[in-house]
Amino acid sequence: MAQITLKNLAHSYYPNPTKDQDFALKEMDHVWQDGGAYALLGSSGCGKTTLLNIISGLLRPSQGRVLFGNRDVTDAATSERNIAQVFQFPVVYDTMTVRDNLAFPLRNRGMDPKYIAERVQAIAQMIGMEDRLSRKAQGLTADAKQKISLGRGMVREDVNAILFDEPLTVIDPHMKWELRTQLKKLHRDFGHTMIYVTHDQTEALTFADKVVVMYDGRVVQMGTPEELFETPQHTFVGYFIGSPGMNLLDAQIDGSRAHVYGQSVALGATYAPLSGRTQIGIRPEHAKLTAGDGLPVSIRRVEDVGRHRLIRAEVMGQPFSIVAPEGKEIGADLTHVAFVPQKINVYADDWRVQGGAL
């Protein structure tokens, strides 16, 4: 087990990258704590899998170093890194039995047969396949195969890290939840460093202590679920985390007030003069319909999603979502929307600006 350090890491699939766009992974410096449960979150094609493959050694980065603890493993082969990785689609050895599949990584490392048998039994129990251990892997359903892949990833106790590349894509929803719980338990019991790639925010937020949000080849924020929710460092994080995502309104920032289309909004902090495109971001949960306080709003649609109601509206012609509690009447007199000043985030060119005290 080891802390994973990425130093000036960048990767391009082109032989001679010149422009910024040539890089699938833009230069980054990050430290992944030993024993942490990380979720790597981002939309498709943002470089999640590239980053994962660099950590596991399937891909050599175009620049920068990868360190496990103090050891530089940039040029070390995958097999030397002692890493487990589970892929998006099930990879099983068809001609082997389920038991042999699970034992394969241990046998290749010459472990004691007695230990292997015990370990296989434990993992089989965890993935719920004890009764099918002697069966050939060929012909099993996709989710059973993926459970075997997961089991193979977890069977070794001494790994530096376990990497999951969207492992639950092919699994049934109810099984997803159960397996995620199992992974979480495994993490608590053994304390492996786990990196879990996903584009599903629920999966990321429930699995991880720390969520790493990637956008366009960059890590835009690394933080706890709460930090991602309350203080998204990038508009993409605001948009990607939360359901619905953060509302963004173009605004001119002037000290502790923002001017949105001629209307003034109080902010929770004071800001130095900003350049570029400036926006304010408000979570739908922190906006409230009022009878005259705040910005004028026109309501387009009300969706009842059970625990609360979702109001799709427009502020100055821009779409705006509001979460309203259940049971409160939404009358025709509610023509304005007000925000909690402390919960407003300010962005300049998509990056969050830290304000000073009022």
Partner 1 sequence: MIKTQNNKAWFLVLPVLVVVAFSAVLPLMTVVNYAMNDTFGNNQFFWVGLEWFEEMVTSSRLHDALGRQILFSAIILAIEVPLGIYIALNMPKSGFWASFCLVLMSLPLLIPFNVVGTIWQIFGRVDIGLLGHTLAGLGIDYNYTNDPFDAWMTVIVMDVWHWTSLVALLAYAGLQSIPQAYYQAAKIDQASRWAVFRYIELPKMQGVLLIAILLRFMDSFMIYTEPFVVTGGGPGNSTTFLSIDLVKMAIGQFDLGPAAAFSLMYFLVILLVSWVFFTVMTNLDRQEGK
Binding site for partner 1 (CB under 8 A): 53, 56-58, 77-79, 83-85, 87-89, 91, 93-96, 104-105, 108-109, 138-139, 149, 152-153
Two tokens, residue 70: 């103090």
Which residues partner with 324 through β-bridges?
Answer: 309
Instruction: Work out how close the CB of 285 gets to partner 1 at its nearest, in angstroms, rounded to a whole number.
Output: 40
340 in helix, strand or coil?
Answer: coil
**Count of beta carbons in the 10 Å neighbourhood of residue 288:** 17
Closer residue to partner 1, CB minimum distance, 77 or 357? 77
**Count of beta carbons in the 10 Å neighbourhood of residue 158:** 10
Distance CA 188, CA 240 (A): 28
Helices (H), 128-168: 142-154
Closer residue to partner 1, CB minimum distance, 56 or 221? 56
Instruction: Work out how close the CB of 139 gets to partner 1 at its nearest, in angstroms, rounded to a whole number.
Output: 4
Closer residue to partner 1, CB minimum distance, 62 or 85? 85
Closer residue to partner 1, CB minimum distance, 165 or 284? 165
Closer residue to partner 1, CB minimum distance, 193 or 247? 193
Instruction: Work out how close the CB of 147 gets to partner 1 at its nearest, in angstroms, rounded to a whole number.
Output: 15
**Count of beta carbons in the 10 Å neighbourhood of residue 344:** 22
305: nearest Cα among 330, 324, 286: 324
Two tokens, residue 61: 């980065």
Instruction: Tell me if 348 sits within 8 A of 231, measured CB to CB.
Output: no
Closer residue to partner 1, CB minimum distance, 103 or 282? 103
Instruction: Tell me if 35 sits within 8 A of 193, measured CB to CB.
Output: yes
44: nearest Cα among 27, 60, 24, 61: 24
Two tokens, residue 95: 């001609």
